[in-house]
Amino acid sequence: MFGAVASGELAFPILSMLILVPVGGAVLVALLSARRPEFVKLAAVLTSVFTGALSIWLTIAFERSAEGFQFVSRHTWIEQWGISWYLGVDGISLFMVLLTGVLFPIVILGIDAHHKNARQEKRYLAWMLLLQAGVMGSFLSLDLFMFFIFFEIVLVPMYFLIGGWGYENRVYAATKFFLFTMLGSAFMLVSIIATAVLARDNGVGQITFDLVVLAEQSNFAASTGRWLFFGFAVAFAVKVPIFPVHTWLPDAHTQAPTAGSVVLAGVMLKLGTYGFIRFGLYLFPEAAWWSRSLFLTLAVIGVIYAAIVATMQSDLKRLVAYSSIAHLGFIVLGTFAITTQSLTGSVLQMVSHGVSTGALFLMVGMIYERRHTRQISELGGIASVAPIFAGFFMVIMLSSIAVPGLNGFVGEFLILIGSFPTARWWTVVAATGVILAALYLLWAYQRVFHGEADEANRSFPEIRAREVAVLAPFIVAIVFTGIYPKPILERIEPAVVTLVQHVESRSGFVEPVPGAVAGTSDQEGN
Q: CB-based contacts of 385: which residues, under 8 Å, 6+ apart?
A: 453, 457, 458, 459, 460, 462
Asked if 482 and 409 count as a contact pair (C-beta separation under 8 A), the reply is: yes
Closest approach, Cβ 72 to another protein, in A, equals 22
**DSSP track, 300-351:** HHHHHHHHHHHHH-SBHHHHHHHHHHHHHHHHHHHHHHT-HHHHHHHHHHHH
Q: Which burial class, exposed, middle or buried, applies to 1 when counting CB atoms under 10 A from its CB (0-12, 13-18, 19+)? A: exposed
Of 164 and 354, CB closest to another protein: 164
DSSP, res 375: B
Interatomic CA distance for residues 464 and 112, integer angstroms: 13
Which of 1, 38, 60, 117: binder of another protein (CB under 8 A)?
117
Q: Is 168 in the site for another protein (CB under 8 A)?
A: no
Q: Is 120 in the site for another protein (CB under 8 A)?
A: yes
Q: Is 230 in the site for another protein (CB under 8 A)?
A: no
Q: Is 197 in the site for another protein (CB under 8 A)?
A: yes
Q: Is 250 in the site for another protein (CB under 8 A)?
A: no
Site string for another protein, 317-356 (x = CB under 8 A): ----------------------------------------
Residue positions counted in the chain: 526
Q: Is 308 in the site for another protein (CB under 8 A)?
A: no
Closest approach, Cβ 222 to another protein, in A, equals 17
Closest approach, Cβ 327 to another protein, in A, equals 28
Site string for another protein, 66-105 (x = CB under 8 A): -----------xxxxx------------------------
Spatial CA neighbour of 401 closest among 334, 488, 320, 314: 320
Closest approach, Cβ 174 to another protein, in A, equals 8
Interatomic CA distance for residues 340 and 514, integer angstroms: 8
Site string for another protein, 17-56 (x = CB under 8 A): -----------------xx---------------------
**DSSP track, 455-487:** HHHHTPPPPPHHHHHHHHHHHHHHHHHHH--HH
Q: Which burial class, exposed, middle or buried, applies to 452 when counting CB atoms under 10 A from its CB (0-12, 13-18, 19+)? A: exposed
Closest approach, Cβ 78 to another protein, in A, equals 5
- Please give the residues from 420 up to 479 whose contact with another protein meets the rule CB under 8 A: none
Contacts with another protein, residue ranges (CB under 8 A): 34-35, 77-81, 116-120, 148-150, 152-153, 155-156, 159-160, 163-164, 170-171, 174-175, 178-179, 182-183, 186-187, 189-190, 193-194, 197
